[in-house]
């Protein structure tokens, strides 16, 4: 198997000295001035060692120097170097290295944080399986293995027949968290959400149950506004409707009415016709509103009514929140305060989980 | 006295009391045994039936098969050999220390109770015999009901359920009948349960048509009482809850949970499938519950369902008694009889009497112990668990999440999260490696709210030496995870087969649990 590796050498330097990220050259300089030590290369080497222990036949293709070559050598490998970055390295080098590697590898590993994940998304989109080695400060995206060793393990056990899942790439920009898109990540059951020994109950069933529950709630002609996310997209797919993962879509009677609608368009639609809204929390993070779905404006939410806003998530997704509450930040404090302390999250047909919601006003 | 073997040596007295556990050099048989359908040999028979001397009338056409059944053709020794070989590839309940099957309440099923069941006075009974000829077995059922009434504090018991889930389903149908009789059947369409209750408490009401609301644990691992307050209302039919939950944590606010649900007009149903830690200590009725159920194959020692039929028991207060499954066993002071004339009953849930073989075993087990013996069972199970917790928490990489400083009752859900972060080894892989030492461990605790979970339940059946051996196996596997992770990662090494591809278990499209399904999926 051929594995590509892109290391963002400065990922994570900000965190160790108390900065909230490492995205700009100024922050990086400041971090190094404060005594930060770059650890990304070392963590990438840990992942490669794990990979090599399991798949001695794996060939590593990477970029020169600190962008991967050094990590490979530290892991005892002689990599094939296919890209030489500038000095100092920049986000443009991450994008260019990933683009160069993509056509030649079965899986692309990258070491970085949310900012690096965005660069990888820009470079390769959903063209090949990708997995993040967590080395950044901000890692809200769902594309990372739980630790570097786990990244090596997943890489070793992935193959051309591995199932893939769409994983959210999110990043905090100007104080708000935004959804940028999805990368295709190997879905290795023993490494991601654990499977039930000797039984089923995995996502496709759960999602079709959620779709059935929504179908029960809806009356003929009633609009269903679906927020962004892989859960909502899978719900639409259960009805044979293809919707974009990023935008807000509107369905009626299980057919598409409008995709990628703006807040204003949405307000017109829900004013003209009775509607319900279904949103899913951002995986691992819990934001329901105000992150990546700002088209669901306070006006739209008020028009539809909070009692007709439905939260959908599989049991596994709720478990992955690790007890953290759901979050809303609609931009309207009074609306945020109107949310109940507990929400009924639809997790299947006739199944809900009562889950706490936190807003600044509670 | 025979001469000491070369392997024995004298140890100091204290060491004889608790000898250092020795790890077994275990290896399971491997037979590479085909499926029984693949062993068919045309014309081979188990019994050679002689041709009758007299003419035999043909069966009526409606009873005749159009074609012969597609069964394997085999002799008796071939069948016997096949199943013996398969049994040698199993880690059966009588073969290993089953502590790692946490939540299953594995305990010894005394063999003498099997002898009672094999006695012709039980085994030769026919379910269609006249009541006057089965007074003895009816008396056993009646007396078992009386014992379970005392153990639960409830007013009536049905022994009809075929297993624990069957008992929960029976309880849900009684809840539905109760609300319907009060004219609130349509209004009360929601059932509340908790994430760490047994999953049947969600599945049974959903199957019965209810909407199910699940409460998540709070930061201490207790079901979130604020969430319960937010969940109850005029639509609440019932709360179905296990206590202690699968974490082994007893909910000290259980009476408050009951009060909140009762105030909303709902019923409270206690899952006492596993009552092993509370026998003779606390009762469902005393906590205010309206219904409860027992798995006789957990607490009361009868074999688990995978080794034969299980049995359950539903227990209710007088207010719910009219709805019990029929028939009930009644006694008029001189004769026992089955009462099928129960107009408000939820109906029949099984043919005939229930799983009599297991009801007899449970009765014998309870009678052998007596009231004080039952309490000893609970106290020993709790002591065993807390002893094992003390041993296991000395192992590097393991922790016991939630409710710090609070005692667990009869089981404990541990986490290997730290070991996983340090070594990359998962709980499931530890389970595979544990099987190399001849014992069992499972990880079916989904969804994984506790990361890398392990649930151990050392019931009263296990000796201190058994507990020490199990803890020593875990310690050895944890040591290997840190020092030689490859050995753990590639386990099992001593089993009949190597690792299975887990993904096929997740995909119903690739399952084949019957020969016919296998043939269909091959095609």
> Residue B514: which residues within 8 A CB-CB, separation 6 or more?
none
Domain ranges across chain A: 2-186, 203-358
Q: Look at residue A204 in the predicted model and tell me its pLDDT.
A: 55
Q: What is the least distance, in Å, from the CA of A354 to any CA of chain B?
A: 5
Averaged pLDDT for residues A304-308: 96
Of B39, B134, B153, B45, nearest in space to B86 by CA: B39
Q: Look at residue A175 in the predicted model and tell me its pLDDT.
A: 65
Q: What is the least distance, in Å, from the CA of A270 to any CA of chain B?
A: 28
Task: Report chain A residues whose CB lies below 8 A from the CB of B230.
Answer: 340-342, 354
Question: Residue A85 carries which DSSP code?
Answer: -
Averaged pLDDT for residues A117-138: 91
> Residue B134: which residues within 8 A CB-CB, separation 6 or more?
B125
**Gap between the Cα atoms of B257 and B224, Å rounded:** 10
Q: What is the least distance, in Å, from the CA of A161 to any CA of chain B?
A: 11
Nearest residue of chain A to residue B445 (CA atoms): A196
Residue A226, beta-bridge partner list: A249, A278
Question: In a mutagenesis test of the B interface, which of A195, A281, A320 is the best target, namely the one with the most B β-carbons within 10 Å?
Answer: A195
Of B480, B501, B484, B469, nearest in space to B100 by CA: B469
**Gap between the Cα atoms of A186 and A191, Å rounded:** 10
Question: In a mutagenesis test of the A interface, which of B506, B510, B513 is the best target, namely the one with the most A β-carbons within 10 Å?
Answer: B506
Q: Look at residue A348 in the predicted model and tell me its pLDDT.
A: 93
All residue ranges of chain B with pLDDT < 50 are 1-8, 10-11, 13-16, 307
Q: Look at residue B500 in the predicted model and tell me its pLDDT.
A: 73
Nearest residue of chain B to residue A213 (CA atoms): B211
Compute the residue count for chain A. 362
**DSSP for B413-472, written as a single string:** EEE-HHHHHHH---HHHHHHHHHTTT--B-----S-SSSSEEEE---TTS-HHHHHHHHH
Are B443 and A197 within 8 A, CB to CB? yes
**Gap between the Cα atoms of A17 and B227, Å rounded:** 39
Q: How many CA atoms lie within 13 A of A175 on its CB side?
A: 2
Nearest residue of chain A to residue B513 (CA atoms): A198
Task: Report chain B residues whose CB lies below 8 A from the CB of A153.
Answer: 424
pLDDT of residue A352 exceeding 90, the answer is yes
Are A351 and B206 within 8 A, CB to CB? yes
Are B230 and A354 within 8 A, CB to CB? yes
**Gap between the Cα atoms of B243 and B282, Å rounded:** 11
Q: Look at residue A173 in the predicted model and tell me its pLDDT.
A: 77
Q: Look at residue A353 in the predicted model and tell me its pLDDT.
A: 95
C-alpha angle A187-A147-A328 in degrees, rounded to nearest 5: 75
What residue ranges define each of the domains in chain B, with the CATH number in brackets? 116-367 (3.40.640.10), 371-501 (3.90.1150.10)
Closest partner residue to B503 (CB to CB) among A54, A189, A344 is A189
Q: Look at residue A34 in the predicted model and tell me its pLDDT.
A: 73
Grouping H, G, I as helix, E, B as strand and the rest as coil, residue B314 is strand
Q: Look at residue A201 in the predicted model and tell me its pLDDT.
A: 31
Closest partner residue to A150 (CB to CB) among B214, B424, B443 is B424
Q: Look at residue A172 in the predicted model and tell me its pLDDT.
A: 76
Residue B277 CB coordination number (10 Å): 25
Q: What is the least distance, in Å, from the CA of A101 to any CA of chain B?
A: 28
Residue A171, beta-bridge partner list: A178
Closest partner residue to B206 (CB to CB) among A198, A315, A350 is A350
Closest partner residue to B446 (CB to CB) among A150, A196, A351 is A196
Question: Residue B236 carries which DSSP code?
Answer: E
**Gap between the Cα atoms of A62 and A70, Å rounded:** 10
Task: Report chain B residues whose CB lies below 8 A from the CB of A53.
Answer: 486
Are A197 and B213 within 8 A, CB to CB? no
Residues of chain A with pLDDT > 70, as a percent, come to 90
The CATH number that domain A2-186 falls under is 3.40.50.10330
pLDDT of residue A154 exceeding 50, the answer is yes
Nearest residue of chain A to residue B417 (CA atoms): A146
Sign of CA dihedral A324, A326, A327, A333: negative
Q: Look at residue A361 in the predicted model and tell me its pLDDT.
A: 46
Q: Look at residue B154 in the predicted model and tell me its pLDDT.
A: 98
C-alpha angle A202-A206-A212 in degrees, rounded to nearest 5: 155
Compute the residue count for chain B. 523
**Would you list which residues of chain A are within 8 Å, Cβ to Cβ, of chain B?**
50, 53-54, 146-147, 149-150, 152-153, 163, 189-191, 193-202, 315-316, 318-319, 323, 340-342, 344, 347, 349-356
Please answer whether residues B235 and B215 qualify as being in contact, where contact means their C-beta atoms are separated by less than 8 angstroms. Answer: no
Are A198 and B449 within 8 A, CB to CB? no
Q: What is the least distance, in Å, from the CA of A55 to any CA of chain B?
A: 13
pLDDT of residue A16 exceeding 60, the answer is no
pLDDT of residue A228 exceeding 50, the answer is yes
Q: Look at residue B305 in the predicted model and tell me its pLDDT.
A: 64
Q: Look at residue A83 in the predicted model and tell me its pLDDT.
A: 93
Please answer whether residues A113 and A94 qualify as being in contact, where contact means their C-beta atoms are separated by less than 8 angstroms. Answer: no
Are A201 and B206 within 8 A, CB to CB? no
């Amino acid at each position: 198997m051929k594995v590509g590796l892109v290391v963002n050498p400065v990922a994570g330097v900000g965190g160790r000295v108390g900065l909230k990220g490492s995205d700009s050259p100024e922050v990086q300089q400041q971090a190094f001035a404060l005594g930060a030590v770059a650890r990304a290369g070392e963590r990438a080497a840990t992942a490669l060692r794990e990979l090599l222990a399991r798949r001695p036949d794996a060939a590593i293709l990477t970029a020169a120097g600190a962008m991967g070559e050094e990590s490979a050598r530290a892991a005892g490998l002689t990599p094939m170097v296919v890209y030489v970055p500038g000095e100092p390295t920049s986000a443009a080098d991450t994008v260019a290295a990933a683009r160069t590697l993509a056509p030649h590898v079965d899986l692309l590993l990258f070491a970085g944080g949310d900012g690096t994940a965005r660069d990888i998304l820009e470079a390769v989109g959903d063209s090949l399986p990708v997995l993040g080695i967590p080395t950044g400060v901000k890692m809200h995206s769902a594309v990372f293995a739980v630790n570097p060793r786990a990244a090596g393990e997943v890489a070793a056990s992935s193959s051309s027949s591995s199932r893939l899942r769409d994983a959210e790439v999110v990043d905090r920009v100007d104080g708000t968290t935004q959804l940028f898109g999805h990368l295709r990540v190997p879905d290795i059951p023993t490494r991601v959400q654990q499977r039930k020994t000797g039984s089923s109950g995995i996502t496709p069933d759960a999602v079709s149950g959620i779709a059935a529950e929504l179908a029960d709630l809806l009356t003929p002609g009633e609009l269903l506004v679906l927020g962004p996310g892989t859960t909502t997209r899978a719900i639409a797919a259960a009805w044979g409707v293809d919707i974009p993962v990023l935008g807000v879509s509107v369905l009626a009677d299980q057919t598409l009415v409008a995709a990628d609608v703006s807040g204003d368009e949405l307000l017109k639609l829900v004013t003209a016709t009775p509607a319900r809204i279904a949103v899913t929390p951002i995986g691992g993070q819990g934001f329901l509103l105000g992150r990546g779905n700002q088209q669901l404006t306070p006006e739209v939410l008020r028009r539809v009514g909070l009692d007709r806003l439905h939260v959908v998530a599989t049991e596994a997704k709720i478990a992955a929140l690790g007890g953290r509450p759901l979050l809303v930040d609609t931009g309207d404090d009074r609306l945020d305060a109107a949310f109940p302390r507990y929400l009924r999250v639809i997790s299947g047909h006739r199944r809900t989980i009562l889950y706490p919601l936190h807003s600044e006003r509670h | 006295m025979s001469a000491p073997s070369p392997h024995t040596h004298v140890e100091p007295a204290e060491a004889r009391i608790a000898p250092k556990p020795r790890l077994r050099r275990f290896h399971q048989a491997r037979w590479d045994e085909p499926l029984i359908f693949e062993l068919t040999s045309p014309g081979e028979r188990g019994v050679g039936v002689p041709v009758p001397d007299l003419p035999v009338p043909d069966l009526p056409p409606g009873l005749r098969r159009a074609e012969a059944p597609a069964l394997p053709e085999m002799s008796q020794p071939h069948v016997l050999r096949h199943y013996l070989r398969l049994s040698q590839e199993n880690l059966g309940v009588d073969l290993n220390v089953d502590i790692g099957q946490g939540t299953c309440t594995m305990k010894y099923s005394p063999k003498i109770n099997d002898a009672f069941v094999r006695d012709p006075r039980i085994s030769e009974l026919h379910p269609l015999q006249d009541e006057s000829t089965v007074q003895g077995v009816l008396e056993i059922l009646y007396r078992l009901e009386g014992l379970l009434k005392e153990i639960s504090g409830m007013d009536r018991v049905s022994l009809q359920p075929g297993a624990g889930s069957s008992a929960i389903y029976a309880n849900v149908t009684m809840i539905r009948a109760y609300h319907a009789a009060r004219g609130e059947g349509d209004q009360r369409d929601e059932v509340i349960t908790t994430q760490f209750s047994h999953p049947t408490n969600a599945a049974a009401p959903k199957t019965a048509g209810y909407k199910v609301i699940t409460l998540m644990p709070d930061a201490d691992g207790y079901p979130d009482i604020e969430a319960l307050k937010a969940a109850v209302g005029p639509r609440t039919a019932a709360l179905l809850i296990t206590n202690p939950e699968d974490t082994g944590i007893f909910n000290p606010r259980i009476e408050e949970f009951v009060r909140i649900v009762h105030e909303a007009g709902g019923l409270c149903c206690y899952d006492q499938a596993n009552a092993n830690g509370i026998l003779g200590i606390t009762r469902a009725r005393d906590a205010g519950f309206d219904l409860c159920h027992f798995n006789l194959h957990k607490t009361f020692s009868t074999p688990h369902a995978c080794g034969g039929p299980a049995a359950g028991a539903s227990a209710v207060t007088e207010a719910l008694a009219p709805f019990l499954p029929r028939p009930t066993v009644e006694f008029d002071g001189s004769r026992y009889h089955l009462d099928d004339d129960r107009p408000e009953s939820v109906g029949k849930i099984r043919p005939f009497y229930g799983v009599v073989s297991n009801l007899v075993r449970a009765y014998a087990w309870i009678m052998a112990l007596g009231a004080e013996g039952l309490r000893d069972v609970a106290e020993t199970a709790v002591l065993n668990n807390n002893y094992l917790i003390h041993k296991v928490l000395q192992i590097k990489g393991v922790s016991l999440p939630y409710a710090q400083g609070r005692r667990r009752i009869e089981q404990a859900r541990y986490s290997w999260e730290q070991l996983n972060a340090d070594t990359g080894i998962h709980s499931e892989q530890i389970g595979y490696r544990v099987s190399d030492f001849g014992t069992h461990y499972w990880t079916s605790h989904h969804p994984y709210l506790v990361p890398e979970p392990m649930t151990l339940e050392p019931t009263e059946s296990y000796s201190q030496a058994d507990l020490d051996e199990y803890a020593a196996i875990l310690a050895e596997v944890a040591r290997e995870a840190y020092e030689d992770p490859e050995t753990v990662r590639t386990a099992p090494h001593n089993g009949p087969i190597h690792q299975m591809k887990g993904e096929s278990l997740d995909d119903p499209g690739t399952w084949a649990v019957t020969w016919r399904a296998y043939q269909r999926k091959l095609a």
